Structure 1
């Protein structure tokens, strides 16, 4: 009998599809990269999701984040993405946390029961804490490196962090992981040198246009806001989704 994942089943088999249905993937960071990770996973048949992001949809997200529309501006990203998941697969289990991942919130947000963790976090300290904890807890994890200030989506690839080059974020993560004794980490990164963004006026710390601008906003704490485009973080996110799917069905 035909079903919503019949075409996927033709490629990965019934056993592979069942593995995906029985898995739970936690996505930390539901933005430009993270939304397309989730999109790729739910359309592949992953049955369980945990979404973690403290932010709400902003007008400036519309250029690249799949949950961002005029109707969703001002709403929590995790809630909007949950609705999208359930519109695609009503049988999926979805748990959401509108919280910022930090070392203090880790015990609440991280579980040994996750089949896979996706790190699509922007903050270096949070990325490193999540990576280190996953290694200690033996949870498979894949981490997104820099996707901002880039225009060429064909330069993305999956690799071990210690085989990466060019990406400034990957360089920082490599150095810090060595200090922590972590010798391997799957990442998706770009070999494209970062582009210097044009100064077109305005930034999130002084010129916020969000309906929730009176709230605490981590986006306003950044020292610089990267340029972005629709076809770069989306590709990174879909590559990550493909790696997660392949790893789960290979077990």
Structure 2
């Protein structure tokens, strides 16, 4: 009998689908990268999700975030992404945390039964803490490096963090993880040199903030808002989804 994942089954077999259906994957950061991670995992047949993000969808998310449309502006990102998963696969189990992940807010969010953790957060402190806690619990983790201020999606690579170059975020992560005794971390990063955003008075978030009501961390508080485009963070997210699926199906972790 044909089903929604029949074409996937032709590639990975019924046993591969079973492994994915029984897996629980936690995605931290449901933005430009994270939404495409979730999309790729949901359409591959992953059966259990945990979504973590405190943000609500903003008008400025429409250019790159999968869940962002005129109809979803103002809604919590985790709620919209949960609904999208269930439209793809009604049998999926989805737990959401509308929370900003930081070391002092992590209690109760990272569970021992996660089969994989995806770090798609854009805050360095949170990324480092999440990776360290995942490693301490022996949960496989993959981390997204910088996807902002980039234009070339063909420059992304999968590598260990200590084999990366060019990416400024990866450099900081290498330094901080080394201090904490972490000797390996799978990442997706770009070898493209970051571009300098061309901010004008009309395009400045700090001068014309349109964050929806209830937003706790407004873009106007950022030191600098990175530029972004549809086809860069999406590619990073789908690469990450592919790594998670292959690691689970072929038991590479």
TM exceeds 0.5?
Answer: yes
**TM-score between the two structures when normalised by the length of structure 1:** 0.97
Residue 70 of structure 1 is matched in structure 2 by: 70
Residue 208 of structure 1 pairs with residue 205 of structure 2:
no
Per-residue deviation at 1:206? 3.8
Per-residue deviation at 1:33? 0.1
Task: State the Cα deviation string for residues 7-65 of structure 1 (Å, max 9, x = none).
Answer: 00100111111000000100000000000000000000000000000000000000000
Alpha-carbon separation, structure 2, partners of 1:70 and 1:63: 11
Runs (4 or more) in structure 1 with deviation over 6 Å come to none
Count of residue pairs the alignment pairs up:
250
Structure 2 unaligned residues grouped into runs of 5+: none
Alpha-carbon separation, structure 1, partners of 2:245 and 2:134: 18
Alpha-carbon separation, structure 2, partners of 1:20 and 1:128: 27
Residue 96 of structure 1 is matched in structure 2 by: 96
Alpha-carbon separation, structure 2, partners of 1:206 and 1:132: 37
RMSD of aligned Cα (Å): 1.0
Per-residue deviation at 1:157? 1.1
Structure 1 unaligned residues grouped into runs of 5+: none
Alpha-carbon separation, structure 2, partners of 1:204 and 1:121: 20
Distance 1:65 1:191, change over 3 A: same
Residue 171 of structure 1 is matched in structure 2 by: 171
Alpha-carbon separation, structure 2, partners of 1:95 and 1:204: 32
Alpha-carbon separation, structure 2, partners of 1:120 and 1:149: 16
Alpha-carbon separation, structure 1, partners of 2:228 and 2:236: 13
Residue 182 of structure 2 is matched in structure 1 by: 182
Alpha-carbon separation, structure 2, partners of 1:61 and 1:39: 16
Per-residue deviation at 1:119? 0.2
Residue 160 of structure 1 pairs with residue 164 of structure 2:
no
**TM-score between the two structures when normalised by the length of structure 2:** 0.96
Residue 4 of structure 1 is matched in structure 2 by: 4
